[in-house]
Chains A and B, each alone.
Chain A
Amino acid sequence: MYQVLAKETLNSVTKMMVVRAPDVARVCRPGQFVMIRVDETGERFPLTVGDFDRTKGTITIVFQEVGKSTKLLGSLNVGDSITDFVGPLGKPTEADKYYGTVVAIGGGCGTAICYPVARAYKEAGNYLITINGARSGDLLLFRDKMKQISDEMYETTDDGTCGIHGFVTNVLADLIQKGRKIDLVFAVGPVPMMKFVSRTTQPVNIRTIVSLNSIMVDGTGMCGACRVTVGGRTRFTCVDGPEFDGHEVDYNELMGRLGAYSEQEAVSNNRWAALHGGVK
């Protein structure tokens, strides 16, 4: 069992938890993920590691409560335990290298995953530009943390309630148009965001890394639920990723596969709402 040591509500839909998992924390690196099963009847789902503390033996996870399983996880309190917490899985980010100028883009809850990777880019001596985007101002995550590590920081909201009115891609396109030299783009967030970031950088040939959030069952290469076409080849997100060359990912296929269980997810969500109240 893996105890919840701290819990923080980041905004109306996002929670952060610090979980005791010394085996995972000992070897975890940025970009890797864990598989979680909250309770005995729960499903296994992946969450990318937000942060880790080797000396305290803890892993920080940040998650948006979008379905039954994340709501169930969010209902745990400090002192409660997660039944299963497996990791670290997947390949770590190569963030400890010098590229030059790196643009790190986080969308919505993805900013929490973007943060430790961006920090590693900064620590490796890169000039770090961050773009933090969300639907609305109150959903922008880690604003102070991102500011602390950024050489330049931009914030965007779809509704204009905070920062630049528009999408992260508007800022990125602007930087490119101004002729800024960009050596690497790292993007994590909703699939459409990663798709359009990649479309923005492809014509000007800027290397772009995206972190995918496929549906998984085991997370260790055993089931193939997370397969995704990258550069015309089928790859498994869990063992070949979760990070891939953004220009080569078949995003439409990925979106289709992410929606595979939407009907069942609605059933589970409605059951949860009936039991616990709240919005479906």
Chain B
Amino acid sequence: MAAEQKGQRKPPTKKVPMREQAPEVRRHNFEEVALGYSQEEAVAEASKCMQCRNPKCISGCPVEVPIREFVNLIRQNDFMGAAAKIKETNSLPAVCGRVCPQETQCEQTCIYGTRNEPIAIGRLERFVADYARERGEPLPPIPPKNGRKVGIVGSGPAGLTCAGDLVKLGYDVSVFEAFHKPGGVLMYGIPEFRLPKAIVKAEVDYLSKLGVHFNYNYVVGRIRTVKEFMEQDKFDAVFIGTGAGAPSFMNMPGENLVDVFSANEFLTRVNLMKAYQFPEYDTPIRVGKRVAVIGGGNVAMDAARTSLRLGAAEVSIVYRRSREEMPARLEEVHHAEEEGIKFQFLINPTGVLGNEKNRVIGMSCIRMELGEPDKSGRRRPVPVSGSEFVMDVDTVIVAIGNSPNPIIMQTTPGMEVTSWGTIVINEETGMSTLQKVFAGGDIVTGAATVISAMGAGKRAAKGIHALLGNQLPTATLDAPKNEAPPSGNRKRRKVQK
């Protein structure tokens, strides 16, 4: 330290900024907000990386991206090589580069970031993933099929990650998706302006080229049960990654009025069904002039910003705690504020008011104040008596979270679930209480992040390989092994409310 202080210390550096659509422009369109780095910008940012001998960034990454190595390849202008390096461990880099909360993961632990803004790892990941996708990336060598079949239920981030890891190990992988398109929450939940659907499709196409079979319109638990998968279809293992699919409501009067939506419904109509292109697409959506979005997470931000783009004049986030407790990413809150979303803190809705046609004409609310910390460590909001008032709104979107969809659990006897309805798993292997049935993502943790679901998919892939890999038929024992057995140093999973 003393030696360093002798010289003139440079002022802390900032990340090379990423270009964005101007707020007043983007609030009227569904095109992507962030525009990405140019080659020059990416190299400039990567060149700041210190290439630490013992890097800390990778320990912050749930899917163990070799960050130092890929950043170094960018420094050498080998963008295709950098993309291939990331894809060794991460099947969805263009997605992660856009929606991961890097500020609490790799960038939080970046050693360069202790004095400066950290290296913009997320922006660099996005840059190389886009660069390679646009130029057509070659497929990595795939080992010969090892004769083992794995079924994956759900094609969201957990399922896609598990599928990608297993297909690269020689497994015969089939994905079963209830919707008509792959991607799960990446497709129906996250808006086009944050994650263009063409990118999700390209990442899935890449997995198809690696040999993953995708089945759509396939509701597991209805068409076929997990037990039938194992016994009749002879899957050697099944991974359940069905997400947190059932929307929670406030259970307040008036919540079933016509202009009250769950965020799931609102976003699915717009994102998956493309209601923003109605009537070219048949699915309708309606949004009024004054919209209240209840909740303070990323989904609430997405619903609010989508409402604005659909033509609402005034959109408010209504959150019962204060700004500090909001679970949404800072970047999302910042983008929402730039676009003109209003934030109404310490307010709890108590009822939705309707007219004789069941249309919303207001929302009754009560003001809150923060009391003692609750179990989650956040200060618990308590109502301020006598502070009731009516908010003048004509559309209400409820974005207070989701609980697990019960279809699989109801049709899979013997699989232990928690009182929340989430699947109980072995934290090391990802296996449920049923032999050879694995699970991961929101179906295990309750609503969390894309990257934590991906980490869970990766853990289950390792668990499946550890279980099945040493029972392989002799003929395939020579197949290259490019993944270490599970080490047990499981990554911390961040669970958001």
Binding site for B on A (CB under 8 A): 23-24, 26-27, 37, 41-44, 68-69, 72, 83-89, 217-218, 220-225, 227-229, 234, 236, 239, 250, 252-253, 256-257, 259-261, 263-265, 267-268, 271
User: B293-305: contact bitstring with A at CB < 8 Å (1 yes, 0 no)?
Assistant: 0000000000000
- Chain B residues near A253 (CB, 8 Å)? 256, 358
Task: Report yes or no: B273 in contact with A223, Cβ–Cβ below 8 A.
Answer: no
Q: Does B361 contact A (CB under 8 A)?
A: no
Which residue of chain A has its CB nearest to the CB of B284? A264
Task: Report yes or no: B256 in contact with A84, Cβ–Cβ below 8 A.
Answer: no
Which residue of chain A has its CB nearest to the CB of B273? A43
Q: Does B19 contact A (CB under 8 A)?
A: no
User: B232-275: contact bitstring with A at CB < 8 Å (1 yes, 0 no)?
Assistant: 00000000000001110101000111110110110011000110
A41 with B281, Cβ < 8 A, contacts A221-B405, A223-B265, A260-B286 known = yes
CA distance A257 to B274 in the complex (A): 21
Q: Would you give 25 A-B contacts (Cβ < 8 Å), ordered by A?
A: A23-B218, A23-B223, A27-B222, A41-B281, A43-B283, A44-B180, A69-B282, A86-B217, A87-B219, A217-B268, A220-B178, A221-B246, A221-B405, A222-B188, A223-B247, A223-B262, A227-B249, A227-B256, A234-B255, A239-B406, A256-B257, A259-B258, A260-B259, A261-B286, A265-B284
A257 with B258, Cβ < 8 A, contacts A84-B180, A221-B246 known = yes
A258 smallest CB distance to B (angstroms): 9
User: B186-221: contact bitstring with A at CB < 8 Å (1 yes, 0 no)?
Assistant: 001000000000000000000000000000111100
A228 with B256, Cβ < 8 A, contacts A83-B180, A86-B217, A239-B406 known = yes
- Chain B residues near A27 (CB, 8 Å)? 222-224
Q: Does B9 contact A (CB under 8 A)?
A: no
Looking at B179, B247, B282, which has the most chain A CB atoms within 10 Å of its CB? B282
- Chain A residues near B222 (CB, 8 Å)? 27, 87-89
B256 smallest CB distance to A (angstroms): 6
- Chain B residues near A263 (CB, 8 Å)? 286
Task: Report yes or no: A218 in contact with B178, Cβ–Cβ below 8 A.
Answer: yes
- Chain A residues near B389 (CB, 8 Å)? none
A224 with B249, Cβ < 8 A, contacts A27-B222, A86-B178, A256-B258 known = yes
A221 with B217, Cβ < 8 A, contacts A234-B249, A234-B256, A268-B279 known = no
Choice from A23, A236, A261 contacting B284 with Cβ under 8 Å? A261
Choice from B264, B281, B283 contacting A222 with Cβ under 8 Å? B264
B403 smallest CB distance to A (angstroms): 10
A257 with B256, Cβ < 8 A, contacts A27-B222, A43-B282 known = yes
B325 smallest CB distance to A (angstroms): 25
A260 with B258, Cβ < 8 A, contacts A220-B219, A271-B279 known = yes
14 A-B pairs besides A44-B180, A228-B256 with CB distance below 8 A are A23-B224, A24-B223, A26-B223, A42-B282, A84-B217, A86-B180, A220-B178, A220-B405, A225-B262, A236-B246, A250-B256, A257-B358, A260-B258, A268-B282
A85 with B286, Cβ < 8 A, contacts A221-B246, A221-B407 known = no
CA distance A42 to B268 in the complex (A): 14
CA distance A85 to B179 in the complex (A): 10
Looking at B265, B273, B274, which has the most chain A CB atoms within 10 Å of its CB? B265
Q: Does B280 contact A (CB under 8 A)?
A: yes
Task: Report yes or no: B258 in contact with A85, Cβ–Cβ below 8 A.
Answer: no
Which residue of chain B has its CB nearest to the CB of A225? B265
- Chain B residues near A271 (CB, 8 Å)? 279
